[in-house]
Amino acid sequence: MKKVISGEELNQMMKKSVNLLCDTVSQTLGPTGNNIIINSSEKSPYITNDGVTIAENINSDNKEEDTVLELIKEASLKTNELVGDGTTTTLVLLQSIFNQGEELIKNGKNKIVLKNELLSCMDQVVKELLKEKKKPSKEEYYHIAKTSTNDEEIANITTSVFHKMKSKYSIKLEESKEERTMILHKKGYNVSIRNLSSVYFTKKDEIELENVHILILKGYLDSLESISEIVNDALEQDKNLLVLVEEMNEEIKNEVLVYYLNKKNLFFVEIEEYAKHRDLIEEDIKTLSNARIKNIDYEKTYGNDCGFISNIILKEDEIIIESNQENAKELIHKLKEEYESCYSDYEKEFIMSRISKLEKGITTIYVGGVTKTEKKEKIMRYEDCISSLSSAKEGIVLGEGITYLKISDLLASNTDGEIIIKNALEKPFEKIMENLGLEPENIKKEIRKNQYKIIYDYQKKKLIPLTDNLVIDPVIVLVTAFKNALSIAALLLSTSSLIINLEEKLEQNIL
């Protein structure tokens, strides 16, 4: 059975959904944005001002409304996926574009014509945004972090770590067991793993092994008999053996654990990644250790199939492999060549993560706090902060919504689409001022009168010269937020019907 919704009913439903989600999330925008309490059946209540987390937790019991909510969330989730920040700005822009467009359509504007007018503005706005960018200084990196997290301690720690590691892929966040935040750097190639029993770590959080023999297996391992030569040699010679398995049964996990409890260092783990990425990680480890990759389903294994690593750190969810400098150097060079010839942003990110781990290793920030709720909230702030610093490498622009405001003055007003975009670009600035408890119109007038050479300082509570300003945003965040907001808003405005497939409940006859 299908339910079809169209016309005014659909328009009102979309408007309700857009405003519900965007009004809630937009409360968090700016340096004094509000926190939101989230109560989920899956975890204990927690507090956050992270836009994408709040958006993800807004749902409706009404299937039709929830369908629209999921489409709106896509804009913020895509922004978060690409740049890790700007999710709230995305929704502020989306809400303005949609509400203005919905009003025009209600008064007779053709949906498709309006969509085309809106999308025709995209290239010009992006072009103007990119014109405004400049390379950040060290001081500006810090203020990007400060603006992102609104916390001096987090900004200081994150900036310091980021300058050392040079890449977000070499920074990991974990909850500290203490109230204070600690930083630990480990040189080596980090690999996420699964299915390693917590029994290994009852006395300590990590196991450090020297002179480790490493075996890489594809296929399904259902018995130690198939690799008996390697296992027996390790047991007899008291060798440290690490086996990377694609998949194995519970019996093997238990058998290997028994060996460990009897002081034999045998470890069988599964790499967390799947498919192509798993294959590439295996190839990296093969290069670093000089191991051979064997498919256990149809190949026999021998002692000389094992590679060798001088030092490995084993944790419940990861291994850190100390890389042979010469092998690592060759692999880094190869990966950099692959990066230059790769056209997929997703794959380029994965290549860069491999390069970063080989060059710099991993720095873990153990985030402290009095309660678990506080730690979770701070970790989300650290995540935003790291993403903002990474995005800033592409260039920075004036923050506080002022760059959007400046570009709105450059756009023509020849079409309804251009007028909508001009108005929407003013909304992030207005919302930030409103969240500060201010009336935005008078401040906008002063900024424009001074040709964008002044900015509002929320700490001093007054307008200050631009030369004293360190309120800045990564340009890629502004570009991504605008493109995603415009894309989803235009699609919603051009939608005429919503089809819901309803599941029919079949009554069972009891005989």
Residue ranges, CATH 3.50.7.10, the chain? 189-323
Residue ranges, CATH 3.30.260.10, the chain? 139-182+364-393
pLDDT digits (tens, 9 = 90+) for 298-311: 888 988 999 999 99
**CATH class entry, domain 2-133+398-501:** mainly alpha
Q: Please tell me whether residue 131 adopts helix, strand or coil conformation.
A: helix
- What does the DSSP 8-state code read for residue 381? H
- What does the DSSP 8-state code read for residue 382? H
pLDDT digits (tens, 9 = 90+) for 401-420: 999 999 999 999 999 999 99
pLDDT(243) > 90: yes
On whether the CB atoms of residues 487 and 421 are closer than 8 A, the answer is no
Task: Please classify residue 459 by burial: count the beta carbons closer than 10 Å to its beta carbon, then call 0-12 exposed, 13-18 middle and 19+ buried.
Answer: exposed
Question: In the prediction, which pLDDT does 510 show?
Answer: 41
Across 285-326, where does the E strand assignment appear? 293-295, 307-315, 318-321
Return left, alpha or beta for 408; rule: phi > 0 is left, psi -120 to 50 is alpha, else beta.
alpha
CATH, range 139-182+364-393: 3.30.260.10
Rounded CA separation 136/338 (Å):
28
pLDDT digits (tens, 9 = 90+) for 141-180: 988 888 778 788 999 999 999 988 888 888 989 899 889 9
**In this structure, are strands 206-221 and 293-295 parallel, antiparallel, or unpaired?**
parallel
Question: In the prediction, which pLDDT does 79 show?
Answer: 79
From residue 283, give the alpha-carbon distance in Å to each of 209, 215, 278, 280, 412: 22, 12, 9, 5, 54
pLDDT digits (tens, 9 = 90+) for 22-80: 888 888 887 777 778 887 666 677 777 777 778 778 878 788 788 888 888 888 777 77
Question: In the prediction, which pLDDT does 41 show?
Answer: 63
Q: Provide the token pair at 219.
A: 């296929």
- What does the DSSP 8-state code read for residue 137? P
More confident residue, 215 or 510: 215
Rounded CA separation 50/65 (Å):
23
pLDDT digits (tens, 9 = 90+) for 165-176: 888 888 989 899
Q: Please tell me whether residue 53 adopts helix, strand or coil conformation.
A: helix
pLDDT(481) > 70: yes
Residue type at position 494: S
CATH, range 189-323: 3.50.7.10
Place of tokens 């995540």: 383
On whether the CB atoms of residues 217 and 301 are closer than 8 A, the answer is yes
Rounded CA separation 146/471 (Å):
9
Buried b (16+ CB within 10 A) or exposed e, 4-15: ebeeeebbebbb
pLDDT digits (tens, 9 = 90+) for 445-458: 999 999 988 888 88
Across 164-250, where does the E strand assignment appear? 171-175, 182-186, 189-194, 206-221, 240-248
Question: In the prediction, which pLDDT does 148 show?
Answer: 79
From residue 33, give the alpha-carbon distance in Å to each of 130, 154, 385: 27, 17, 16
Residue ranges, CATH 1.10.560.10, the chain? 2-133+398-501
Q: Provide the token pair at 486.
A: 């415009």
- What does the DSSP 8-state code read for residue 507? P
Rounded CA separation 224/215 (Å):
13
pLDDT digits (tens, 9 = 90+) for 218-241: 999 988 988 999 999 999 999 999
More confident residue, 326 or 510: 326
pLDDT digits (tens, 9 = 90+) for 389-403: 888 888 999 888 999
On whether the CB atoms of residues 449 and 428 are closer than 8 A, the answer is no
Question: In the prediction, which pLDDT does 323 show?
Answer: 67
Average pLDDT over the chain reads: 87
